[in-house]
């Protein structure tokens, strides 16, 4: 047993023991602990908003596999809880810590305080009060266990004291409890049940047109090689959710791309024609299935997931495999009947090739304002071989999910699970976790407006990401719908979703970052090359046209 140490020292030693390298916070919280974190070599990243701190922790967690740690004081707890929605939906291990005034202040109109626990109920899988320092050896390891086991998701600890000072200033006479097994997600990698595997193999061998659909769970499990081996053994196209994008290189002959709501037209057509679908680490929600219309009703389903509550949730007649997605995919690849390349995979290849040919002119367009299609084509060519592309939601997800290629198996794609503005602060967390890899944030101007102050954070902490802004001065995804709803009615539809024109390159320079304004399509390539070569955070502000529509998903005819 060690000498008596403070709660601040205990928390710092525990985080260090679990391999935490960065924490993300908004002052004022755990100030004594933050001082101790510096002493043990953990980098402190102060953000400008609690949601940004949560998004940074999320990006850090998704790339490193280690729980990302974010903190906020009592008055910021609601904002921090809201920021956990995206990591919750994306199955990302994040540990949130907040301060809470002492019991004597409770139920007496304490200044700036609400009951925190309900605020975290929808965005965490575990939330607990830390009322006394003697709870730390139990609850800190429990936070790591909860965050990294089963379906990884955020957890929350609410510490006594407005800044958690009641916990960190007390003393405890114990060594920090560190269970290294729970330092990364997924902590457990169970093998599949033999009977479930045998049933799946029988179904796969009987299929003529098998399809593999991968989600973020497959990426989190590092199932890339196993999925590719299964696809090649079955000669089966591989489709993905947005979260699964990049599980196989997008230029591979068996890559079908994203399916569902945010897909290119041929992907849904091919997926709808499949006579068996193997879901690997995919939640099978409404977006990836286009409201459960793709695949066709009655199509046999094999579903692999580490979370038993996901198995058969949306398709009752499912062959369920509770297992690590990588281990199960590898086992299926070894056991299923191997097939040579045939008409089914060629059909998928030809459909994608024909669609690509049909949009070639838009990908090469020289229009000004610039077409987003051209911007995506330039990014496909320019992305470094080890780049991590961090995409925002909405139109950024559609454009990047359908038109930006990731040809290298060493490239990574991350996307917002639905929170507009997530990508920029998340990319800062990603860079903290992967400092030696190029990190590229792809977002629209509507998203970038959310967290512009984090440019100061990036400059102050030397977090050198490249931000590519599709600057069309609007929330362009809803533009056509608003005009359709207006019809012939007089009025100003732009008042609903258009912004003033903003020069983000100039704003970036005002923060001390580099800023490059691009107004001609022929200047995109040089701007990207310059940004990727820069040792500083760089904003590439690309002035685009809000009118072009992103690729729209094919929808099967109503029965």
pLDDT tens digits, 201-223: 999 999 999 999 999 999 999 99
> Does residue 21 sit in the same domain as residue 162?
yes
Same domain, 402 and 370: yes
DSSP per residue, 26-79: -SSS-HHHHHHHHHHTPEEEE-SSHHHHHHHHHHHHHHHSSPEEEEE-GGGHHH
- Residues 159, 288, single domain; the answer is no
Structural domain of residue 42, as residue ranges?
A: 5-182
pLDDT reading at 112 higher than 50: yes
Distance in angstroms between the alpha carbons of the first and the last residue of the chain: 70
Does residue 87 fall inside a structural domain? yes
| Nearest-angstrom CA–CA distance, 164 and 73 | 8
Euclidean distance between CA atoms 392 and 471, whole angstroms? 13
User: What percent of the chain stands above pLDDT 70?
Assistant: 100
pLDDT at 317: 83
Would 553 be classed as within a structural domain?
no
Is 552 within the bounds of a domain? no
pLDDT attached to residue 176: 84
Is the residue at 286 inside a domain?
yes
Last residue of a domain, one of 162, 182, 202: 182
- Mean per-residue pLDDT over the chain, rounded: 96
Q: What number is the average pLDDT over the span 352-364?
A: 97
Residues 11 and 87 in one domain: yes
Q: 215 and 328: one domain?
A: yes
- In this structure, the answer to whether residues 480 and 434 fall within a common structural domain is yes
* Mean pLDDT, residues 471-487 taken together: 95
Helix (H, G, I), strand (E, B) or coil at 524: helix
For residues 477 and 493, give the distance between their C-alpha atoms in angstroms, rounded to a whole number: 13
What confidence score (pLDDT) does residue 107 get? 86
In a domain, residue 554? The reply is no
| Cut 0.95: pTM above it | yes
| Least trusted range by pLDDT, from 53-57, 112-116, 400-404 | 112-116
The torsion defined by the Cα of 169, 175, 177 and 179, in degrees rounded to 10, comes to 140
5-6 vs 171-172, strand pairing mode? antiparallel
Residues 41-49, mean pLDDT to the nearest whole number: 98
Phi, psi of 313 (to 5 degrees): -60, -40
Structurally, the chain folds into a number of domains equal to 3
What is the pLDDT at residue 114? 85
Structural domain ending residue among the three candidates 329, 351, 373: 351
How sure is the predictor about 173, in pLDDT bands with cuts at 50, 70 and 90? confident
**Total count of residues recorded for the chain:** 559
Whole-angstrom distance, CA of residue 376 vs CA of residue 403: 6
Same domain, 525 and 418: yes
What value does the mean pLDDT take over residues 186-190? 96
Contacts of 383 (CB under 8 A, 6+ apart): 389, 404, 406, 411, 438, 440
The verdict on 173 and 95 lying in the same domain is yes
> pLDDT tens digits for 94-106?
999 999 999 888 8
- Residues 198-202: what's their mean pLDDT? 98
- Residue 264: cis peptide before it, omega within 30 degrees of 0: no
* Number of other CB atoms surrounding residue 371 within 10 Å: 21
Residue 69 sits at the vertex; the CA angle it makes with 66 and 73, to the nearest 5 degrees, is 170
CA 519 to chain centre: 30
**Domain stops at, among 320, 351, 382:** 351
Asked whether 405 and 251 are in contact (CB, 8 A), the reply is yes
pLDDT, residue 2, reads: 52
Angle at 471 between CA 444 and CA 382, to 5 degrees: 80
**In this structure, how many other beta carbons lie within 10 angstroms of the beta carbon of residue 342?**
11
Would 189 be classed as within a structural domain?
no
Please tell me whether residues 375 and 344 are part of one structural domain. Answer: no
Mean pLDDT of 135-148: 97
pLDDT at 495 over 90: yes
Residue 558 lies in a domain: no
* Helical pair 423-433 and 454-461, crossing angle rounded to 10 deg: 20
Helices (H), 207-342: 216-220, 224-234, 265-273, 325-335
Q: What is the CATH number of the domain that holds 436?
A: 3.40.50.970
CATH code of residue 316: 3.40.50.1220
Closest CA to 128 of 113, 144, 112: 144
- Could you tell me what percent of the chain has a pLDDT over 90? 95
Beta bridge partners of 318: 301
Q: Decide if 271 contacts 533 (C-beta within 8 A).
A: no
| 156 and 290 fall within a common domain | no
CA distances from 12 to 5, 206, 472 (A): 11, 55, 45
Mean pLDDT to the nearest integer, 114-128: 94
Give dist(CA 441, CA 40) in Å, integer: 30
Question: In 10 A of CB 338, how many CB atoms?
Answer: 10
H-helix segments, 84-123: 85-89, 117-120
pLDDT digits (tens, 9 = 90+) for 158-169: 999 999 999 999
On the CB side of 174, how many CA atoms lie within 13 Å of its CA?
15
Whether 256 has a pLDDT exceeding 60, the answer reads yes
Torsion of CA 445, 449, 454, 458, to 10 degrees: 20
Q: What average pLDDT score do residues 322-326 get?
A: 98
Say whether both 512 and 374 belong to one domain. Answer: yes
Q: Does residue 483 lie in a domain region? A: yes
Residues 101 and 10 in one domain: yes
Report the Cα 233 to chain-centroid distance in Å. 29
Q: Please say if the pLDDT value at position 1 is more than 60.
A: no
Neighbours of 510 (CB within 10 A): 11
């Amino acid at each position: 047993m060690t000498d008596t140490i403070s709660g601040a020292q205990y928390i710092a030693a525990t985080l260090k023991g679990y391999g935490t390298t960065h924490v993300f916070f908004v002052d004022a919280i755990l100030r004594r602990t933050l001082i101790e974190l510096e002493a043990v070599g953990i980098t402190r990243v102060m953000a400008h908003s609690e949601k940004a701190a949560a998004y940074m922790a999320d990006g850090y967690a998704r790339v490193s596999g280690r729980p990302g740690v974010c903190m906020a004081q009592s008055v910021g707890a609601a904002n921090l809880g809201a920021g956990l929605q995206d990591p919750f939906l994306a199955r990302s291990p994040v540990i949130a810590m907040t301060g809470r005034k002492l019991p004597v202040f409770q139920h007496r109109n304490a200044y700036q305080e609400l009951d925190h626990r309900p605020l975290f109920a929808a965005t965490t899988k575990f939330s607990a009060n830390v009322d006394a320092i003697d709870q730390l050896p139990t609850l800190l390891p429990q936070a790591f266990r909860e965050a990294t086991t089963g379906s990884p998701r955020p957890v929350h600890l609410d510490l006594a004291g407005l800044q958690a000072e009641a916990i960190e200033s007390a003393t405890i006479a114990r060594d920090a409890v560190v269970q290294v097994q729970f330092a990364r997600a997924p902590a457990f990698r169970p093998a599949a049940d033999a009977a479930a595997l045998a049933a799946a193999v029988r179904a796969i061998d009987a299929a003529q047109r098998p399809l593999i659909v991968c989600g973020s769970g497959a990426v989190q499990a590092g199932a890339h090689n196993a999925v590719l081996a299964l696809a090649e053994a079955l000669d089966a196209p591989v489709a993905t959710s947005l979260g699964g994008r990049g599980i196989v290189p997008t230029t591979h002959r068996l890559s079908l791309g994203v399916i569902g709501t945010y897909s290119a037209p041929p992907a849904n057509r091919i997926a709808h024609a499949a006579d068996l679908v193997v879901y690997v680490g995919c939640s099978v929600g409404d977006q990836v299935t286009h409201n459960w219309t793709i695949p066709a009703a009655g199509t046999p389903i094999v579903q692999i997931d580490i979370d038993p509550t996901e198995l058969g949730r949306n398709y009752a007649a499912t062959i369920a495999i509770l297992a690590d997605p990588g281990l199960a995919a590898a086992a299926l690849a070894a056991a299923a009947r191997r097939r040579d390349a045939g008409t089914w995979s060629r059909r998928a290849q030809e459909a994608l090739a024909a669609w690509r040919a049909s949009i070639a002119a838009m990908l090469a367009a020289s229009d000004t304002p610039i077409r987003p299609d051209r911007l995506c084509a330039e990014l496909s060519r320019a992305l470094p071989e080890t780049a991590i592309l961090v995409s925002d939601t909405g139109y950024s997800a559609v454009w990047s999910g359908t038109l930006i290629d990731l040809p290298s198996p060493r490239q990574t794609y991350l996307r917002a699970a639905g929170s507009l503005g997530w990508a920029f602060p998340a990319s800062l967390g990603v860079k903290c976790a992967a400092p030696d890899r190029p990190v590229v944030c792809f977002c629209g101007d509507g998203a970038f407006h959310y967290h512009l102050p984090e440019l100061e954070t990036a400059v102050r902490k030397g977090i050198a990401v490249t931000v590519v802004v599709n600057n069309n001065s609007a929330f362009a995804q809803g533009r056509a719908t608003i005009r359709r709803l207006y019809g012939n009615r007089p009025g100003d539809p732009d008042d609903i979703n258009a912004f003033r024109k903003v020069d983000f390159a100039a704003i970036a320079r005002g923060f001390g970052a580099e800023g490059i304004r691009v107004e001609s399509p022929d200047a995109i390539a040089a701007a990207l090359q310059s940004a990727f070569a820069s040792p500083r955070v760089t904003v590439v502000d690309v002035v685009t046209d809000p009118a072009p529509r992103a690729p729209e998903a094919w929808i099967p005819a109503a029965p």
